[in-house]
Amino acid sequence: MIGASISRWTMSYFATALAWLFVALALMVAGVGYPSAHLASPDTLVLVHVVCIGWLSVAMCGALFQFVPVLVAKPLFSEKWALPALGLLTAGLAVLLAGFLGLGGRLPAWLWLLPMGAILLIAGFGLVVVDLGLTAWLRPRGPARFVLVGLVSLCATAAFGAVFAFAHAGWAGSAGQSMLASGVPLHAIAGLGGWLTLTAMGVSYRLLSMFMLSPDVDERKSNMTLAAGTLAIGAAVVGGVLAIWLVSGLNVVLPAVGALGLAAIVLYGRDVIGIFGGRKRRQLELNTRMAVLSFVSLAGAALLGVVLVLTGAFAAYLGTFAFLSIFGWLSGLVLAKLYKIVAFLTWLETYGPVMGRTPTPRVQDLVSEARASKWFVIYYVAVWFGTLMLLAGQPSAFRAAAAMMTVGLVGIVREVIRARRLADVASPLRLPDGACAPHLLCARG
Ligand code: HEM
């Protein structure tokens, strides 16, 4: 990534995303939404979208503004769109949440807020998709293909979400009502499976190879993984809409999606093991060790899913499965990589301009892995404890797990801010002549 330009607003995306993650954890600690309320309740919808849009989608967009140009070795189509997109996403999410709160009677029932939020979100995601899509399209190979499929899935997710939002306001006719009645699983699969998981898989191939000095994953193998994932999402979106239209129910579609999704996860596991096997860096950095815990969580979620399906208990424990996937796999991976990306970009921004002219610290000098590791361990242990408490039907103990996750997160964020502030770099090397301290929330233009 050395030599690549630094995305100006990636840090602002990360800061916004982390702020939403704190909101989500505060809701969970306070007992708002699942498991204290039903999965389909308006309070759960608030919680789900704070996590899925505010935290995960915003963090992913911020990371992609930096990485897609690196993946395709071309500049971003338009750097200028990133900030307006963040504004639209933030405003859209706030309005959508107000609509959900109205649906649950916590605010006046102004249901027009839901379509209004959807329009703002579509405008924000639209800017992101066009910007990143036009950039990734220039060299659609390897991980960039995962990103392209992820972006198409994001469009499908937003389209389903908009139909639901218009249907809640009574503006989507009978077709919209039947989509709202049966299509929610399709929206969730396209968002969590297609957009977030496939994109995270694609980006992880490149990051793991880069940080472990491994050869890139064999393209034939990663194409096979992508094909299984794309078929799963395609079956969910196309097959699912068709099944709803034909009023035949989702009983055939969902098992097929599950089997294809499982195949994609197994193939991804094979690819990741291959990257680890080919690494030249024997001593693993913290971000990679913590990414391993997120892979363990993904494998755990897949296993849990299979056991629940075989015992006929999937519907009853859907929330537990979603919790482990969202907080163990996706959030764990994003936090681990964010920790490294912030240090790396801060190093590049501060010392890149003076490199070769004066002694500079190494990227690892910006962080204290020994101090940071305990916060990550607290976070993951809390997530796994929370999963067990959901399985055991113990909502109070689950709130304690959410509080423990918050403690871990506070520690991780403190370490990230210290890296951004160069707080762990010893004085003579910290700011050599010609180097400037970076701004906390954005890169210099
Ligand atoms: C344009 C953006 C979006 C809009 C307008 C939107 C809107 C909605 C609406 C109205 C529902 C409720 C349906 C019902 O009443 O049962 C819903 C459910 C859901 N959405 Fe979204 N959504 C958006 C983006 C996303 C994204 C990006 C994700 C995930 C990555 C996501 C994940 C979910 C999930 C998991 C549910 C089911 C929640 C539950 O039943 O508890 N949404 N969405």
- Dist. CA 230 → ligand 1 center (Å): 20
User: Do 395 and 31 touch, CB atoms closer than 8 A?
Assistant: yes
Ligand 1 lined by 96 (C-beta under 6 Å): yes
Q: What is the pLDDT of residue 444?
A: 81
Tokens 């911020």 correspond to 62
Nearest Cα to 93, choosing from 112, 115, 117, 123? Answer: 117
Rounded to the nearest angstrom, the gap between the alpha carbon of residue 30 and the centroid of all alpha carbons in its chain is 23
d(CA 45, ligand 1 centre) in Å: 7
95 lines ligand 1 (CB under 6 A): no
Atom number of ligand 1 nearest to Cα 154: 27
- What is the whole-number distance in angstroms between the Cα of residue 123 and the centre of ligand 1? 16
Query: Rounded to an integer, what distance in angstroms lies between the CA atom of residue 132 and that of residue 151?
Result: 8
Q: Are 153 and 190 in contact (CB under 8 A)?
A: yes
> DSSP secondary structure string, 171-210?
-SHHHHHHHHHH-HHHHHIIIIIIIIIIHHHHHHHHHHHH
Ligand 1 probe mutation, 114, 184, 321, most atoms within 8 A of CB: 184
**Atom number in ligand 1 closest to CA 164:** 10
Taking the CA of residue 100 as reference, the ligand 1 atom at the shortest distance is 10
Q: In the prediction, which pLDDT does 2 show? A: 47
Among 392, 379, 403, which Cα is nearest to 317's?
392
How far, in Å, from the CA of 149 to the mean position of ligand 1?
19
Say yes or no: CB of residue 150 within 6 Å of ligand 1: no
Give the amino acid at 288.
T
Q: Are the C-beta atoms of residues 95 and 120 closer than 8 Å to each other?
A: yes
Q: Does residue 88 line the site of ligand 1, with CB under 6 A?
A: no
Give, rounded to a whole angstrom, the gap between the first and last alpha carbons of the chain: 18
125 Cα: distance to centroid of ligand 1 (angstroms)? 14
Residue nearest atom 4 in ligand 1 by C-alpha distance: 161
Does the C-beta of 164 come closer than 6 Å to ligand 1? Answer: yes
Eight-class DSSP state of 386? H
- Ligand 1 centre to CA of 256 (Å) is 22
- List phi, psi (to 5°) of 66: -85, -40
112 burial level (CB within 10 Å; 0-12, 13-18, 19+): middle
Q: Quote the ligand 1 centre to 182 CA distance (angstroms).
A: 13
Distances 372 to 61, 285, 369 between C-alpha atoms, Å: 25, 12, 5
How high is the pLDDT of residue 313?
A: 97
Rounded to the nearest whole angstrom, what is the distance from the C-alpha of residue 76 to the centroid of ligand 1?
29
Which one-letter amino acid corresponds to residue 414? Answer: R
Question: What are the domain boundaries of the chain?
Answer: 1-139
Amino acid at site 304: L
SS3 call for 355: strand
The label of the residue with tokens 């918050």 reads: 406
Compute the distance from residue 316 Cα to the ligand 1 centre, in Å.
Answer: 20
Residue 246 tokens read as: 């034909």
Q: Give the Å distance between the CA of 46 and the centre of ligand 1.
A: 9
Cβ of 367 below 6 Å from ligand 1? no
Please, what is the angle between helix 82-103 and helix 42-49, to 10°? 170
3-state helix, strand, coil in the chain (%, to 5): 75, 0, 25
Per-residue model confidence (pLDDT) at position 445: 67
Q: Is 237 in the pocket of ligand 1 (CB under 6 A)?
A: no
For residue 290, report the distance from its CA to the centre of ligand 1, in Å. Answer: 29
What residue owns the CA closest to ligand 1's atom 38? 45
Q: Mean pLDDT in each 10-residue stretch from start to end of the chain (445 residues)?
A: 77 98 98 97 98 98 96 94 98 98 96 98 98 94 95 98 98 97 98 98 95 94 98 98 95 97 98 96 95 98 98 97 98 98 96 92 96 98 98 98 98 98 93 93 86
Ligand 1: atom nearest CA of 103 is 15
